[in-house]
Each structure stands twice: as structure tokens, then as C-alpha cells.
Amino acid sequence: MPRRSLSLLIPALLALAAAPVSGQNLEELLVQVGQEYAEAYTTPLIHGFGANQNSGLYHTANIPRSRLTWSVGIKFMGTYLDEGDQTFRRVLEDVELNDYLGLEPGDPGYGERGDIVLQGPTVFGDKDTNGTATAYINGAPVYSQETIPGLVDTRWVPLFAPEATVGGIMGLRATVRWLPEIDFSNFGKTKYLGYGLQWSPSFLFNNLPVDVMVGFFMQDIDLGTMVQTEAESYYIAASKGFGPTTVYGGLSAESSNMKVDYVEEETQTPVKFDIDGKMKSRLTLGATFNLGVKLNAEMGIGKMVVYTAGIMFGM
């Protein structure tokens, strides 16, 4: 893992947890906008969180056949967004302006049809800049209103996951990720649960030149009461030890999804939608160093690049 990328993970975690300048969290911002705006605003959230959740799922393919092993530790993941993920622009063509802008009698464009341009910072955009919703009739702007600012101004989307493993019987190893409900100022009360199972066919074949395994992992993160992310990964991996160092790699098929459900504050309109994450598959390359405690670093390469570092205690 590049030194610069690793050094940025911890500051990014602190930025993600810090309170926004506006004093508003994700839920307080979302209730101010409708579905079209919210979808564009939150899409980078699942791209980053989904890729992170499906990272750091293993650090070796070696699973003993008949010796119980265990470990506890923590993984830190960071996904680097494209610069374009910090802003958005969405055009709604030939719509009832009243339905989207809450116009009142006397407002320009009231009762008319036209186009609406929604644009501004996304959830990871500028916290000091508000977005806008502008109505156009026959190509001419007739009405504009400010919307919401970004929440956390960063291109690094970090995540951390405490985890515990137990295994060694019949080539099986189980992993659990869990985070109790914690109040992050930006995202509200957040909780995290994930579980997975790995199996090594080395249990049946003793003379393979490398250790191999297959596995799956399922995870959920609740961000307050309005946003829930889900992620799952199915993978095959191999590793080989060289003294205190183990190098490993793997291929995975994965998916992630974010569900959003709330009521728009001004109009009391129910808003409910879901968005799929960008990562569908990845190549993972990494190394684990056994120095009494195990330290590992890896890179996941797909439509996005994810960096992971971890520390584990156990046997």
C-alpha cells in the first residue's frame, strides 16, 4: 500500500466523524430535498461505502485442518473518489414545476411546465456551498432556489471495522464484524454488522503449492434511521508464506446497495429509493507481516481502487 495512501486514512476517518460546519447531519439535510435531488446527492456515498465494506475480508488463505485459531483486530479501508463525485448536475425535462419546487401562486413559473436543473455539491462536496434548483421555461430561467450544502468535503471515503475470527476445524473459518451504535455527528447513530465464512480445500489436499480458499461475506451499515447500506462478496483467494511474510491475492464478485427512506419536510412527501454501488468485481493483492501481532496492507482494484490496512492479535 502506498505510504501516502496509508497516511491519509486516519485523517480521513477523523474528517468523516467530525461535525459539519453547518451543524447539520445527513438526515437533517436530506429532509430538505426531494427524491431526484437526494439520489444524485447520495450516490457517491454507496460507491465509497460499498467498496470499503467489501475490502479487507481476508489476510491469508491458510486455514489449519484441525487446530483451533482465533484473532481479533481492526481493519481500516479507504476509497478514493473521482473529482466528479464531489458535484452533480441532473436535468428534469418537461415536468410540472410546482411538483418539484413547491411554488406558490405569484411565484414565477407557478402552474407551468418546464425543465428543472438540479446541481451542487454531493454528500462529499463543499460544505460551504449550497446547491441550486433552477426552473427553465422555453430555455429561459424563471425561478431559482438554494438547496443544501455538502456534508464532508473529501475525496477519501474511509471506514473502519472491528472484527473477530475463529476457525481451524475442517478447514473452516468464520469472521464477524461488529460496531455498536455510535453517534457520528455527520451521519447520526451508526451501527455495523457483518459476517462471513471461508473454507480451504487444502483440508482435503495436502500437497498444493499454495494455500487456497473460497468464501463469502455479508454486511449491513445503518446510517441513522434513513439510510442503510448492504454489501456482499463471494471470492476465491490464494496465499503463500515466506518466513514472517505472507503474500496473498484473490478475485471476487461483489455488490452493494443503499436504501434511503424519509419524508420531505416541507411537502410531507414520502421519499424512498435505492442505489447500487459501482464495484461489481475486484482483484485483491496484499501482504501480511507476522511480527508478534499481524499487520497487513492490501489494494483492491476494480472500477474503483480501495486501500486497506489492518492489525490483528491472536493465533
d(CA 202, CA 130): 56
Q: Residue 95's Cα: distance from chain center in Å?
A: 33
Maximum Cα interatomic distance, the chain, rounded to a whole number of Å = 81
Phi, psi of 231 (to 5 degrees): -145, 145
Phi, psi of 14 (to 5 degrees): -65, -40
What pLDDT does 233 receive?
98
Q: Residue 4's Cα: distance from chain center in Å?
A: 21
Count, residues in the chain: 315
d(CA 60, CA 215): 12
Number of C-beta neighbours around residue 73 at 10 A: 20
Which amino acid appears at position 222 of this protein?
Answer: D
What pLDDT does 67 receive?
82
Average pLDDT by stretches of 10, the chain with 315 residues: 46 47 80 96 96 96 86 95 94 90 83 94 96 94 94 92 92 94 83 96 81 96 94 97 96 98 92 96 97 95 96 90
Three-state SS string over the chain comes to CCHHHHHHHHHHHHHHHCCCCCCCCHHHHHCCCCHHHHHHHHHHHHHHHHHHHCCCCCCCCCCCCEEEEEEEEEEEEEEECCHHHHEEEEEEEEEEHHHHHCCCCCCCCCCCEEEEEEEEECCCCCCCCEEEEEEEECCEEEEEEEEEECCCCCCEEEEEEEEEEEEEECCEEEEEEEEEEEEECCCEEEEEEEEEEEECHHHCCCCCCCEEEEEEEEEEEEECCCEEEEEEEEEEEEEEEECCEEEEEEEEEEEEEEEEEEECCCCCCEEEEEEECCCCEEEEEEEEEECCCEEEEEEEECCCEEEEEEEEEEC
Q: And the C-alpha cell for 76?
A: 481500516
Q: And the C-alpha cell for 266?
A: 416541507
Instruction: Look up cell 452533480; give the residue.
Output: 88
What pLDDT does 2 receive?
45
Of the candidates 249, 261, 260, 255, the one whose C-alpha atom is nearest the C-alpha of residue 300 is 249
Facing residues of 143 across strands?
A: 135
